[in-house]
Amino acid sequence: MNIVTNLKEWKTIRQSLNSKTIGFIPTMGNLHDGHLSLCEKSKADNEITVVSIFVNPTQFNQKKDFANYPRTVDLDCKKLDVDFVLLPEKNEIYFDNYEIQLTETNLSLDLEGQFRPVHFTGMLTIVLKLLNLIHANRAYFGEKDYQQLLLVKKMVEALFIPTEIIGCETIRAEDGLALSSRNSLLNKNQREKAKLFPQLLNSNLSAHDITEQLISLGFKVDYIVEKWQRRLGAVWLDDVRLIDNFRLC
């Protein structure tokens, strides 16, 4: 596995790979089995697999949230079994001081966009930069962040980017909680309560009744809605925010 920290070095490497099919997984690190499942899918589909690890400051609403995001690069690299890991530096990614931004004006205003107003502009901007750097045949995203997946697909289509965006099924813990880097922020009691969120979200109850039950259990609910043939939810357990979704039958 090759670890690349310099974008000039990566561009030289990328030119040497022109005859290979390339799969790409963009991450912010603190990798779990969900990320690794994307890597396995990419390795099955492509000759070369590239993973990026970059905690992107522009998609965080609060500086505290950015500061507290788990950073485990050394452990992440030990978990990975791919061809290349790209570890770009902020000053190279945002050499323009984030003066160029990519904004979507419809889908991004709903749900996550309503509660995290700068998030999707930062997300789309960094994904576009990375796609332009990697020039992958395929890029892999988990369905847990379903609105993000829809926006990335929309961006690629609108900007004629020749990378196929592939959504992959959410990977869950044995108790049903969707795997997420933020789960590591939960203490033991919070982790035990957190499993009730996917259980209720995937129940036969109405969105209103799910909301009421979650509130009674001590969750703060941002939204429980049904759209895009999914039931989607976002909740807080104290200062930890969880999102999830399930396909409607």
Residue 64 confidence (pLDDT): 87
| DSSP labels, 138-151 | EEEEETTSHHHHHH
Residue 86 confidence (pLDDT): 98
How many DSSP H helices and E strands does the chain contain? 11, 9
| Pair of tokens at residue 9 | 């070095």
Residue 108 confidence (pLDDT): 98
DSSP secondary structure letter of residue 158: H
Residues of the chain with CATH 3.40.50.620: 2-168
Can you give the pTM of this predicted structure?
A: 0.96
Residue 144 confidence (pLDDT): 97
**Beta-carbon contacts of residue 87 (< 8 Å; ≥ 6 apart):** 3, 4, 5, 52, 53, 54, 73
Residue 169 confidence (pLDDT): 97
Q: Looking at the domain that runs over 2-168, which CATH code has it been given?
A: 3.40.50.620
Residue 103 confidence (pLDDT): 97
pLDDT digits (tens, 9 = 90+) for 104-114: 999 999 999 99
Mapping DSSP onto H, E and C, the string for 44-107 reads HHCCEEEEEECCCHHHCCCHHHHHHCCCCHHHHHHHCCCCEEECCCHHHHCCCCCCCCCCCCCH
| Integer Cα distance of 139 and 126 in angstroms | 14
Q: Does domain 181-244 bear CATH number 3.40.50.11900? A: no
Residue 62 confidence (pLDDT): 86
Residues of the chain with CATH 3.30.1300.10: 181-244
Residue 34 confidence (pLDDT): 97
Task: Tell me the catalytic residues.
Answer: 35
| Pair of tokens at residue 51 | 């993973």
For the chain, which residues score pLDDT lower than 70?
A: none
Residue 139 confidence (pLDDT): 98
